[in-house]
Amino acid sequence: MKLGTLTIEGKAALAPMAGVTDAAYRRICMEFGAAYTVTEMVSAKAVEYGDKKTAALADLSRDYRPVLLQLFGEDPETLALAGERLLVLQPDGIDINMGCPVPKVAGNGAGSALLKDPKKCGAIVAALKKRVDVPVTVKLRAGWDQTSRNAVEVAKYCEEAGADAVCVHGRTRVQMYQGKADWEIIRQVKNAVDIPVIGNGDVVDAQSACQMLEQTGCDLVLVGRGALGNPWVFRQINAYLTDSCRILPPPGVAERIVVIRKHIGLLCECKGEERGMREARKHVGWYVHGLRGAAELRRRAGQLSTLSDLDALLEELYRKNTEETEEREDTL
């Protein structure tokens, strides 16, 4: 897929998720074959004011490439100025958030609230394209609600304004993250514009990624919640699409442990052990899903404070799950 002069290899990328897709997790997902990653959303106003926390969110120094920097805001010039200032970080592209449904974003006229004004969406893209020399993409939703499913109209305005690609999440803002994503609206957008269209919503494994690509004709899929505690999903999708629908098995417990330790180690390296371990609790809880003793492991994950705590937990995880394997072998 081409984003301006940028060539994207692969068919599955990591969707931006606030509080999840920080530098540490972006790096892990790239190692497992994500086509590219996108930062957590960065406030254009906060960039204008020089906020230090925002600068940390936008830091790309530990990233593998390509990585896009996602901005949110409601004013075209503020977004354009923020994009221009952030070029010093050398992002491979700028992604404009027109899909975030949370009240603190949409309630202030940004994110999915922009879908109420398609012309303004186009004006934002046009303003940014004048200021930056990297690809500009847009992430939007099907519409605000079921009565205003206007993703096709918004995508057209964005294309006319110079957007290099649009990503469509198949839910409305009112749906938030509930219900089933409508892939038909993604297909409609693909048929309506000439720029690349990226599909998003309910891609959780190799088969669903393939189904979205086939049903919508989209150029690439973004994996969001399906990647939580599951960076292997990109390796599985790539194998399925390039090797005659080969289904790779889930990772064994040893590989899970190695990746958990590496991920959380990176997290602590980026943010310090105290903060990193607080944020590690949710990630470890996702990683142990489906393993023997997962409920107890998740409870203990919620109490992690140090890397030593994590090492003890991982030792317990290994013991419980290898004992289960040995018990099975004894019964054969």
Instruction: Give the tens place of pLDDT for each residue, 88-135.
Output: 999 999 999 999 999 999 999 999 999 999 999 999 999 999 999 999
Query: Would you state the structure tokens that stand for residue 328, as one six-digit string?
Result: 């099975």
User: Does the pLDDT at position 326 exceed 90?
Assistant: no
pLDDT, the chain, mean: 95
Rounded to an integer, what distance in angstroms lies between the CA atom of residue 215 and that of residue 207? 12
Q: Cα–Cα distance between 162 and 124 in angstroms, integer?
A: 10
- The answer on pLDDT for 332 being more than 60 is no
Q: How many residues does the chain have?
A: 332
pLDDT band at 293 (very low <50, low <70, confident <90, very high): confident
Average pLDDT over residues 54-83: 96
pTM score of the predicted model? 0.94
Percent of the chain with pLDDT over 90: 91
Q: Are 268 and 277 in contact (CB under 8 A)?
A: yes
Active site residue 268: no
Residue 331 has pLDDT above 70, yes or no: no
Choosing among 3.20.20.70, 3.20.20.450, 3.40.1640.10, 3.30.70.890, the CATH entry for 2-242 is 3.20.20.70
In CATH terms, the superfamily for domain 253-331 is Putative flavin oxidoreducatase; domain 2 (1.10.1200.80)
pLDDT value of position 329: 44
Give the model's pLDDT for residue 324: 55
pLDDT class of 330 with cuts at 50, 70, 90: very low
For the chain, the structural domain boundaries read: 2-242, 253-331
Give me the mean pLDDT over the 49-67 stretch. 93
Decide if 2-242 and 253-331 have a common fold: no
Which pair of tokens denotes residue 207?
């088969």
Catalytic residue, candidates 29, 100, 158, 218? 100
Q: Is the pLDDT of residue 145 over 90?
A: yes
Residues 6+ apart with CB under 8 A from 9: 35
Q: What percent of the chain has pLDDT over 70?
A: 97
pLDDT of residue 320: 83
Q: Determine if residue 329 is left, alpha or beta; phi over 0 gives left, psi from -120 to 50 gives alpha, anything else beta.
A: alpha
